[in-house]
Structure 1
């Protein structure tokens, strides 16, 4: 795992965690015990899906950084599909409040993506290799002397 990937992951988690906790507390206050459970499930879903998605993205782009945009879009699409399937699968559950779950999930997911964007924009990532991959060619001393003599 590259250091800039770790910074982005940590930054996203540090922004999403407080938002998820506040959303869970608000859900508990508004919807009671089922709201608390819904908020906690939403927090776990976002942490799980987005954390695993970030890990998958780091793994996909570890050896091939040129596929980062394609891999990022693929991972994000799969995350949204899986979250959608999770919401559909638990839409009629009585384990937790569905509205509290959905709003907590939305707030936490948006905070996670916002944290990733903020960290990506503010981190100093090199876009060129600072060390040349091939040694520089040395100037031919004979040609240099003939230019100096003229």
Structure 2
């Protein structure tokens, strides 16, 4: 992973992990050990899904740039549907508190998306190629009218 991508991932994952730690602490205080476990599983699941999605999106941007926008939209819809499926599957589990799981999953996902938007806005991405001014323009040949 290039250093720029790693820095971008760090700017996104750290706030999400902090929000997850807060969710685990609040869940432990409110619902005990099973609540903390549910919040931890929800946070890890959100970070895992969103991290894989970011990796796939970066790979698409490098290899198939013409599909980037469509892939981004498809990826976010697929991620949200998969997270919804996980909430539905674990709604009656006895392994952990399903309410804290769902809340931490939603909170972590929202924090991830907000941090990703902020990281993108703060990134210094050229919208004009700075090397194009340096290249010599070909002389016009033929009559000009």
TM over 0.5: yes
1:91 maps onto 2:91 in alignment: yes
Long gaps (5+) in structure 1: 141-150
Q: How many residues align?
A: 140
Matched residue SS, 2:92: coil
Q: Which 10-residue stretch deviates more, 61-70 or 117-126?
A: 61-70
The alpha-carbon deviation at position 53 of structure 1 amounts to 0.6
Q: Calculate the aligned-residue CA RMSD, in Å.
A: 2.1
Long gaps (5+) in structure 2: none
Aligned to 1:144: none
Matched residue SS, 2:26: helix
Extract structure 1 runs of 4+ deviating beyond 3 A: 1-7
Q: Bigger radius of gyration, 1 or 2?
A: 1
1:77 maps onto 2:77 in alignment: yes
Aligned to 1:55: 55
TM-score (normalised: structure 2): 0.86
Asked if the contact 1:12/1:116 (under 8 Å) is kept, the reply is yes
TM-score (normalised: structure 1): 0.83
The alpha-carbon deviation at position 44 of structure 1 amounts to 1.0
1:15 maps onto 2:4 in alignment: no
